Structure formats: C-alpha cells, structure tokens
Amino acid sequence: MDLSTDHRTIRLSGTPGVLTVALDRPDAQNSIDTAMIRELHAALDTAEADPDCRVVVLTGGDGVFCTGMDLLGAAAEGRPDRERAAQGGAEFLGLLKRLTLTPRVVVATVDGRVAGGGVGLVAASDFVLATPRSTFSLPEALWGLLPCSVAPFLIRRTGFQKAYAMSLSTLPVTADQALLSGLVDQLVDQLQPALRRLAFRVTKVEGATVGDLKRYFTKMWIITPEAERLAIDEFARLMSSDGVGRRIADFAERQRFPWEGGS
C-alpha cells in the first residue's frame, strides 16, 4: 500500500489489511473543508487499489474526532451563491455515499467530540467504536442551517425520531445515548483492542463480498436520487442565505457564536 502521498488535512498509516486515516487539522478542530473531502476520496482510492486492504479506519485527535464544516474557511471565502453552495453540499454528500458503498469495511474510532458533518462521517461508517467521553451533536439549526447531507445517513442508522431530535434540540448526545440509538456500535475504554478484534474477523471477508453486501443492503434502505437532490438543494438555499452568511461572518470577525446574541 503506497502511503507516500503528501496530504494537508489527513495522515495515513497502515498495517496488514488495514489503512488508518487520521483527520489532522488540530488547529481547526478537525473541521471539514474541500481539501479534506478531496483527500479522503484519495485515501479511499488508495484502499481500493490495494487488493489486500480490507479495512479503512477513520480516526481523529485526542478529544476531537471532527467538528463538521470549517466555518472560518467558509467565512474567508465569502457567502457563496446558490450554485457554489450546491457544489459544496454535493461533494460532501458524495463522500458520505462513497463510504457506504466502498468495497472496504469502514470503521470510525471516536474518542471525544463529534459535531455537524463529523456525525455524518460516523453515521456513514460500517462500524463505530467510541469511548465513554465521546459526544455527538448537530448544532446546524443554531446557525440557521440544517444537517442536510448528514440526515439521510443518520436516519439510516438511528431511525427518524433520534435523528430528528438531535437536529431540533442541537443538544449533545452522550456516548451511552449514542450506543442506545445505534449511532455507536460498541462503547469501549480502549479503542485499539476492540479495533484489533473487529479487524481480525472482517479482514477474512473478500473485498468483493464487502462490496456486494453494501450494495445489497443499500437497496434494502434506499437513499434515492430525489432524496440526494433535496439534501443538496436545501443546503444550497440555506448556505447562500443572508442570515446564515451574517452569522458565519460574525463568528469569523468576533469569535461569537449565534446563541451568544447579536445576530
């Protein structure tokens, strides 16, 4: 497996049968920008090009897995028009969809905070291992946004009501609650032993079989092209609106969150 490619937002490491992809934007709390989306696709390319690779592990830093969209980066680029916002939404939704279809077993190992689009990365993974200190939240409504791309994959994992309640309340969900809802598959104090046990088993499954299984189960729970278009169109409408642009700009200028008043 060739891991020599330079990446700005992720770090790759490998053991036999396993590619570990560490989100690596500590100064930005592992937030997601266009470069990260592109580099995560490249990491999946690497895994799929290696016939011996069976598992892709997504992991974060100490205390933070991923905090979703890079708001400071979005502010620096200025309020997008609807077309540019739609393109960004489509790119992220496309990444989540690819995680559910890649002929590799995707495991998210979570030790800390997950927010916004980070919940999407978790929900689109095949297995989620988390530590007790992990939390999961969807704060989009506080910005005047909705978790448009995340919702189809979160509903697939947790059911409608849990996904709806997370989106509407914006309150963090504890690791115990995430386990009960199905967002987390296993709650463990130490991630690596649990990961090794899982990898030992799933690396015995042929990649073609993994791909077949994913395609088959996708047909059992269909995220239709219409649902994808709805998610992208709604994100574009909201992201290009004056209210959301004002809140993001205020955050960039004053480091003030919308719930702290003044927007």
pLDDT at 228: 96
**Which residues touch 25 (CB under 8 Å, ≥6 apart)?**
9, 31, 33, 36, 70
The residue ranges of every structural domain in the chain are 10-189
Give CA separation, 213 vs 101, 163, 218, 220, 233, in Å: 9, 25, 8, 11, 30
Rounded to whole angstroms, the Cα distance separating 223 from 252 reads 35
Of 90, 107, 71, nearest in space to 149 by CA: 90
Checking DSSP bridges between strand 112-115 and strand 135-137, what pairing results, if any? parallel
Checking DSSP bridges between strand 135-137 and strand 173-174, what pairing results, if any? antiparallel
- Give me the average pLDDT of each 10-residue run along the chain (263 residues): 81 95 95 96 96 97 93 82 93 97 98 97 98 97 96 97 97 98 98 96 94 94 91 95 90 78 52
The reported pTM is 0.94
Domain 10-189 belongs to what topology?
2-enoyl-CoA Hydratase; Chain A, domain 1 (3.90.226)
pLDDT at 24: 95
pLDDT at 263: 45
